[in-house]
Structure 1
Amino acid sequence: MRKYEWRFVAAGSVLTILFLIVVNYVTGVEYPWFIYPVLLLLLLPFGIYAIIEKKQILFSLVGSFILLVYLVLENYISTPDYPWVLYTIAPIVLWPILTVLGTRNKNMTVAISMSLIFTLYYVLLNVYLAPAYPWAIFPAFLILWWPLSLYHAKRKAYFAFSVNAALFISLFLISVNVFFSPDAIWAVYPIFAVLWWPLSMYYFSYRQKV
């Protein structure tokens, strides 16, 4: 019975896509707006199929490909003069890679190597598209939490994690302050709030020992 569920959804999605294409070209062919709902209509039946058949890897591969094709078309149609789709490639490609790796994502070598590749991609993209603004620090800040958290989680060093994480956040805030608004020293205010994290962890561990 469950196999018929995704087939019913797939048939409904195909018919809906054909209907939207016809309506789009009957009402006006100057803009192909049907591509927006088509993304959901393609992923929905395939997602149900992947859940029923337990084929998460296949869904990540096909889903990332469909999403990437959709974004390329949207970039070409809406803003062909600026390749903003390049910003989305790294996380989209990372999705099937992490799915294929599975439990190996908990390996420090995998976490460090994938984080470095991810960061390097955005650094090169930053240099190519906007060398005057070092915006690559934002995706680097996000992805580097992976190896940082994994390292301390494996050792159950929660207090050390709070200290290193506070230093990491402080360094990030200072970099943003220096690069994007050097005339106003505002980073000290959120840094002061972040410092309460290791202080509270130290107080908690001290009380546990007492």
Structure 2
Amino acid sequence: MRGLVSFSIVGSAICMFFLVALNFFLTPTLDWSIYPCIALLLWPLSMYFVYRQNLKQFAWFTSLVFLILLTVINLRETPDVLWVLYAAYPLVFWPVFTMLGKRAYTMTVAIIGAVVTSLYYALLNIAFSPDAPWVIAIIFAVGWWPLSLYHARKGSFFAYSVQASIWVSAFMIGMNWAFSPSVIWAIYPIFAVVWWPLSMYFFRAKHHMHSL
């Protein structure tokens, strides 16, 4: 395994040298080689941390490399739009989640994670695009985390279908109200979603009748 780590270091260095030279001789006015070079750092880093069996440090270093890469691209190419802030949160969340270990699968972490994620993107929504409340979709997505974890541990699948249907319906109504209030279209997907708890209810009732 140590030989593979050494090979990855040498191979990454050779590739980076080749890309820098190619950039210098063919397109000296356009510094594009910095992007693949930063990405190439992941190869030896991955091999090293796999060799050391330290996945927590691997998560931190990988997130740092991607964060640096995206920040450089953002500031060089589109400095007027700080889109790197949207990608920064999941890049930081991954190593933090890894550091928590088994505690990451608790209800407390699920609730805190969903709330913090929603607040972070809500602030970005308010700061950069207050006219389009797209954060509704983020809240809807992360809300499944504590909802699904709770019912999976309780084994309450029928209650899950009811609450999940309500959650989906609330999302549809929110999207309808926020983006197209003049056209009431939310009723159509809500009608389809209602069949989920209904089908589970009648399946359970039929199963109960057969068991009598």
Q: What's 1:4 paired with?
A: 3
1:167-195, Cα deviation, whole Å (9 max, x unpaired): 11111111111101112222222222222
| Cα deviation, residue 40, structure 1 | 3.7
Mapped to 2, the partners of 1:47 and 1:193 lie a distance apart of 45
Q: Which runs of 5+ in 2 are unaligned?
A: none
User: How far apart, in 1, do the equivalents of 2:115 and 2:14 lie?
Assistant: 44
Could you tell me how far apart the structure 2 residues matched to 1:208 and 1:11 are?
A: 64
User: How far apart are the structure 2 equivalents of 1:103 and 1:20?
Assistant: 42
Pairing 1:30–2:36 present: no
* Unmatched segments (≥5 aa) in structure 1: none
Identity of aligned pairs, percent?
A: 43
The farther-off stretch of 135-144 and 44-53 is 44-53
Identify the residue that residue 115 of structure 1 maps to in structure 2.
114
Mapped to 1, the partners of 2:191 and 2:38 lie a distance apart of 44
Amino acid at match of 2:157: Y
Alignment-derived partner of residue 19 in structure 2: 20
Q: 2:167 maps to what in 1?
A: 168
User: How far apart are 1:110 and its partner, in Å?
Assistant: 1.2
Q: Could you say what secondary structure the match of 1:195 adopts?
A: helix
Give runs of aligned pairs for residues 75-154 of structure 1, distance below 5 A.
75-154=74-153
**Cα displacement string for residues 148-185 of structure 1 (whole angstroms, at most 9, x for unaligned residues):** 11111111111111111111111111111110111222
Equivalent position amino acid for 1:107 in 2:
T
Larger radius of gyration: 2
2:189 corresponds in structure 1 to 190
2:86 corresponds to which letter in structure 1? Y
Cα root mean square deviation, aligned: 1.5
What is the aligned residue count?
A: 209
Q: Quick one: which amino acid aligns to residue 136 of structure 2?
A: I
Assess if the C-alpha contact under 8 Å between 2:132 and 2:178 holds in 1: yes
Compute the displacement of 1:35 (Å): 3.3
In 2, Cα distance between the equivalents of 1:86 and 1:201?
Answer: 42
Q: Normalising to structure 2: TM-score of the pair?
A: 0.92
Separation of aligned partners in 2, 1:194 and 1:158: 15
TM superposition shift of 1:9: 1.6
Instruction: Please give the secondary structure, in 2, of the residue aligned with 1:139.
Output: helix
Shift in alpha-carbon separation, 1:145–1:35, aligned structure 2, 3 A: farther
The structural deviation recorded for 1:81 is 0.8
Scaled by the length of structure 1, what TM-score is found? 0.93
Judging changes above 3 Å, is the alpha-carbon distance between structure 1 residues 52 and 202 closer, same or farther for their aligned structure 2 residues? Answer: farther
The secondary structure found in structure 2 opposite 1:73 is helix
